[in-house]
Amino acid sequence: MGETKFLLDENEIPKAWYNIQADLPTPLDPPLNPATKEPIGPDALARIFPLGLIKQEVSRERWISIPEEVRDVYRLWRPTPLYRAKRLEKALKTPAKIYYKWEGVSPPGSHKPNTAVAQAYYNMKEGVRRLTTETGAGQWGSALAFGTMLFDLKCTIYMVKVSYEQKPYRRVMMESWGAECIPSPSERTQYGKKVLKEDSKCPGSLGIAISEAIEDAATHDDTKYSLGSVLNHVLLHQTIVGLEAKKQMDMAGDYPDVIFGCVGGGSNFSGLVFPFVADKLTGEKPELRAVSCEPKACPTLTKGPYTYDFGDTAQTTPLLKMHTLGHSFVPPPIHSGGLRYHGDAPLLCKLTNEKYMEAVAYHQNEVFKAAKIFAQAEGFIVAPETAHAVKGVIDEALKCKETKKEKVILFNNSGHGYFDLGAWDAFLHGKLVDYEYPAEQVKKALVKVPKVK
């Protein structure tokens, strides 16, 4: 049968992150000042981010060294294993070879601490005392609570209210690591109060929670803001996943024909695929496919126009060039809380818009059905977000069965679903709702997107 698990030694943890900006055919469109529509410089970011991360945000150097203090923390769970999903292949009767990178072994249970630890470190080095952030499903919030604890920082987390109510044990995890977790929209900020005044039953959104976290950081001198996805430096830190995976695929004697990952903001997908897409950009692997998997209830990449928009609902961020459903759009309360974002990472959006990547969208029930097939074959119960990638993988493997093509498929198994059993319970008992694409809501939200020439 051959090997099913490919492991690296901890001394093989990468010593540098890969920066795909060095290999883009054309530069990334710059963030813009909302008032002037002119490109902003690094100084404009200093109010909410430390200088070390700002430098990474704008850098075009191909390799950025990982501080030894960060690598030392990574050793708690990295390198993560790469699995050959032979039991799933057998269950599907497919000639395809399926591999997955398992990020659920980290203490918070997902890929998120790859950047949370790094961000906490850079803030600590510059004397920051407290970090604020937002979280959807709670994976990012729990990761930042973990990271700030390790570097003795305080942490305030604004958790999207519907997820706060659906996933109470994520809150418990954050609080266990010393963080403060607040349902958003809240009475803590002026913007939260404004939202609640307009709609006291608002379920919240990542855009709203971002607005609250940024306001909190901007109004306290000892505090900075931390983001778990979207920005260039976040995707940079996550490339440790793909760099390890490339070594492990070499060990397996394979190279992927197609790579899948779930996408809400883009960090786990980009982290896995960017080191491989580098081979596509250089012409070494022109046929490589990279496929984003998102929810039909919030289909940013598959339905959203590629244009400049705010990253948050209160319009406090610079304008970012991305696929967007409109910064004021509030998605339906699906269980994949981490995929309920109106936009996506500018780097991922650029590569998707230029056809180096592609995207698909799925309903809740079909992704849980795919995740159940995976769980009953491979054993791991994955997060609702990750289930979207599993759906893409199974569809591709079944196509291989029809065409009798032996493709190599790789996906990022970005986190476990042990705090999402309420969603699993709803699915298993036929109570999970498939929300239709809210076309009218998106249409109204897109009217508010800034006009940029």
pTM of the model: 0.95
The two tokens of residue 333 are 């309360």
What is the domain count for the chain?
1
For residue 73, being part of any structural domain is answered with yes
Residue 46 included in any domain: no
Q: What average pLDDT does the segment 429-448 reach? A: 92
* Dihedral sign (CA 52, 350, 312, 184): negative
Residue 15 forms part of a structural domain = no
pLDDT digits (tens, 9 = 90+) for 223-279: 999 999 999 999 999 999 999 999 999 999 999 999 999 999 999 999 999 999 999
Residue 252 lies in a domain: yes
Matching residue, tokens 């126009």: 305
Q: Specify if 447 maps to a domain.
A: no
Tell me if 217 is assigned to some domain.
no
- What pLDDT is attached to residue 1? 53
**What tens digit of pLDDT does each residue of 33-71 get?**
999 999 998 888 888 999 999 999 999 999 999 999 999
Ranges 88-97, 384-393, 430-439: which has the least confidence: 430-439
In a domain? residue 180: no
Dist. CA 165–CA 205, nearest whole Å: 13
* 119 belongs to a structural domain: no
What is the rounded average pLDDT of the residues 105-115? 97
Please tell me the distance from the alpha carbon of residue 275 to that of residue 140, in angstroms, as a whole number.
Answer: 22
Per-residue pLDDT, averaged over 418-444, amounts to: 92
The DSSP secondary structure of 413-431, one letter per residue, reads E-BB-TT-HHHHHHHHTT-
* pLDDT single digits (tens) 3-25: 899 999 999 999 999 999 999 99
Pair 133, 147: CB distance under 8 Å: no
Q: Which is nearest to 99 in space by CA: 443, 344, 393, 297?
A: 393
Q: What is the CATH number of the domain that holds 91?
A: 3.40.50.1100
Query: Taking the mean position of all CA atoms in its chain, how far away is CA 58?
Result: 20
| Residue 287: pLDDT band with limits 50, 70, 90 | very high
Range of the domain at 398: 5-9+67-109+233-442
